[in-house]
Amino acid sequence: MDINPISNYSIDEHYRQILSVFRIYDLKTLLGAFGQSRSGRKFELRDRAIKLLRTRPANINYSAYIAKIHEIYRFLQSGMSNYNIMMRSSLIQNRQQQPQRMYQPPLFPQPSMHMARVVLPQVMPQRQGINYIRCIAVGPSKIRCIVSNQLHPNQQMSIVAQNALEVGTTASRNNSYTPSIEAVAQIKYKKLPFYEVIDEVIKPTLLTGTDTCTLPNVHEGMKEAIFKVTLSPEQANVVADNCKISSGKEEYLYQFQIRICQLIEPIPNESPDYMPLDLYIRVGRKPCQLPPSLPITSPGTKSRLTARPIDCTANVKLCPFVSNTITIRWTPDGKNYVFSMYLVKKLTSDTLIKRLHDKGGRSSEDTRNIIIQMFANIDPDVATTSYRFSLICPLSKVRMKIPAKSIYCDHLQCFDVSTFILMNEKKPTWMCPTCSKPCLYDDIQIENYFLEVVSSPTLKYCTTEIEILSDGTWRIHKETIETKNTNSTFDMVKSNDIVDLDSDDEMCTERNAGPSPKNSKSSFIDLTLSDDEGLQA
């Protein structure tokens, strides 16, 4: 097999994606076929497999190693569909002959070559690679838990075959179709700017439940699913070591975050959070604090929870030797939902602002060219030689310190990036305050042209507007200067009656103004006084 030479970086990026979908058994099969150690956790096996690609040791046939990876990957993609017909026939035969037997082996065709050379383990170690346990109904009052990634594909399919009727019946009652495994694996949740994903605790899993619920206050038709997860020592330590107590409350820098979204095909690039009806989640014996409910917009409909991630860190047992049971209950509504759990790091607004600075902004020269082009596209019949630009942030109503905007906004007006990020930390909307279009964090760009303007020593502290000229230069707005001169004259000639309107528009006066004439008497009328307060002369 001819392999085109590619760089180590390309190999790392390309095969990291392929090896990331390999199970522990697949990684051990790959490494064992080339005489490598098969011990360790999943991420250690994966890193060991990637290292062989990077280093290309002389004692390993590199072409055969690449071919083996593709062989296992093709088997994973087509394994379920290849056995679909045989599973159905085996299901009928097994249920007729031995309905009480739990692990009736189905009649499978001859496995592929890489499967034939490996002896299948009969019993997998209990602690090895447990990520989650799926619940499948086997009767009106029984629940069977299957450790899905501990079993060999054939063992998994034998169990699925014996339960296909029950699962299929449940799925048909809830949804018109059951999404494929490939579709669920493609789910990518919408990125959250204030959370950085560190590890994937539970991979995206289709939320399918049983009619028998163990939780109290169950309504008719509700479903329940149970997941069991055991943390790795690294996951437990990083959360426990970065916990501090403030005002008697534990605050975690690293969090375990549950995310649920609706599965829509074709799968979008990013799936936003979306909660099932009557959602209830319990980790261990403690219920999770769920987001608040949205207001009911139309009569006859049920209220859903606000679409946001669920922090369950306080409920999780931070011990790598104890499993955590996650119980989920909801009311089916004909939609398919995907459940996941991640280890994330909470970021501060200062961190996000620093990352924007590190990313770099739009250069002043690019903005100047945009301004020149903007004036060139103006109707020649309209005499326009300048453009008024406000230095006031539309959110904070004070002068901007770090002007920024979305790369997709076609207007010049900016907002103060610190204010924008702080407001979205309290209430995430991520909308441009000028044009009301989406303004995601990854799309924000600092405008260096206007950053130089607000940092210019020629600006007075009270300057709120500038004029942008057709050649790309700028100057202080004339009305600001004229207003300053007019106010100074007014103060000198007629200073007896001053009306304080308590307005946001502050007069532009000098910081070190001299004292008023001794003989002048001033009367201040403050229109902000209430009706009960008298005017003092």
The Cα 67–Cα 1 span in angstroms is 8
Q: Within a 10 A sphere around the Cβ of 61, how many other Cβ atoms? A: 11
In a domain, 382, yes or no: yes
- Does one domain contain both 332 and 403? no
Q: How many domains does the chain have?
A: 4
- Distances 148 to 141, 159, 188, 382, 444 between C-alpha atoms, Å: 22, 10, 21, 70, 41
Structural domain span for residue 337: 175-295+302-347
At 433, which CATH number? 3.30.40.10
**Pair 417, 404: CB distance under 8 Å:** yes
Residue that is written with structure tokens 């007069």 in the block: 507
The enclosing domain of 65 has a CATH number of 1.10.720
Q: Using one digit for the tens of pLDDT, what is the confidence trace for 19-45?
A: 888 888 888 888 888 888 888 888 888
Q: Is residue 221 part of a domain?
A: yes
Exposure of 208 in the CB half-sphere (CA atoms within 13 A): 25
Residues 136 and 210: beta-carbon distance below 8 Å: yes
Could you tell me where the DSSP H helices lie in 21-118?
24-33, 42-55, 62-82, 84-97, 113-116
Based on the domain organization, do 320 and 446 belong to the same domain? Answer: no
Report if residue 489 sits inside a domain.
no
pTM of the complete model: 0.58
pLDDT in tens, the chain (537 residues): 444 444 445 555 677 778 888 888 888 888 888 888 888 888 888 888 888 888 888 888 888 888 888 888 888 776 544 444 444 444 444 444 443 433 334 433 433 333 333 333 333 333 334 444 444 433 333 333 434 443 333 333 333 333 333 333 344 344 456 788 889 999 999 999 999 999 999 999 999 888 877 777 777 889 999 999 999 999 999 999 999 888 888 899 999 999 999 999 889 999 999 999 999 999 998 999 999 998 888 888 888 999 999 999 999 999 888 999 999 999 999 999 999 999 999 999 999 999 999 999 999 999 999 999 988 887 766 667 788 999 999 999 999 999 999 999 999 999 999 999 999 999 999 999 999 999 999 999 999 999 999 999 988 888 899 999 988 999 997 765 554 444 443 343 333 444 443 444 444 544 444 444 444 444 444 444 444 444 444
In 308-410, DSSP assigns E strands to 310-311, 324-331, 337-346, 386-390, 403-406
Beta pairing class for 444-446 and 403-406 = antiparallel
Q: Measured between alpha carbons, how far is residue 161 from residues 6, 49, 85, 108 in Å?
A: 42, 32, 11, 12
Query: Does the residue 64 lie in any domain?
Result: yes
Are residue 335 and residue 399 in the same domain, yes or no? Answer: no
Shared domain for 311 and 183, answered yes or no, is yes
Residue pair 223/329 in contact (Cβ under 8 Å)? The answer is: yes
**Pair 327, 403 in one domain:** no
Say which residue the tokens 């002896």 belong to. Answer: 119
- Residue 452 belongs to some domain of the structure: yes
CB 403 within 8 Å of CB 446: yes
Which residue is listed with tokens 């990077």? 54
Count of other CB atoms within 10 angstroms of residue 393: 22
First-to-final CA distance of the chain: 99
What is the structure's pLDDT at 178?
79
Cα dihedral 506→508→511→517 (10° resolution): -100
* Among candidate residues 347, 359, 360, 350, the one with its CA nearest the CA of residue 418: 350
Q: Is residue 25 part of a domain?
A: yes
- Is 185 in the same domain as 281? yes
Q: Which string of b and e fits 451-469 if b means at least 16 CB within 10 Å? A: bebbeeeeeeeebbebbbe
460 and 505 share one domain:
no
* Pair (439, 520) in one structural domain: no
Whether residue 399 is contained in a domain is answered as yes
Q: Examine the fold and report which residue of 48, 80, 112 is the final residue of a domain before the chain moves on.
A: 80
Distance of CA 501 to the CA centre of its chain: 46
Decide if 162 is inside a domain: no
Question: Are residues 277 and 186 part of one domain?
Answer: yes
Q: Are 288 and 180 members of one domain?
A: yes
| Together in a domain, 357 and 407 | yes
- The contacts of residue 137 (CB under 8 Å, 6+ apart) are 143, 144, 163, 166, 167, 170, 210, 211, 212
Q: Are residue 258 and residue 319 in the same domain, yes or no?
A: yes
| H or E segment to which residue 523 belongs | strand 523-526
Do the strands 415-416 and 310-311 form a parallel or antiparallel pair, or are they unpaired? unpaired
Write the CATH number for 242.
2.60.120.780
* Phi then psi dihedrals of residue 424, to 5 deg: -75, -20
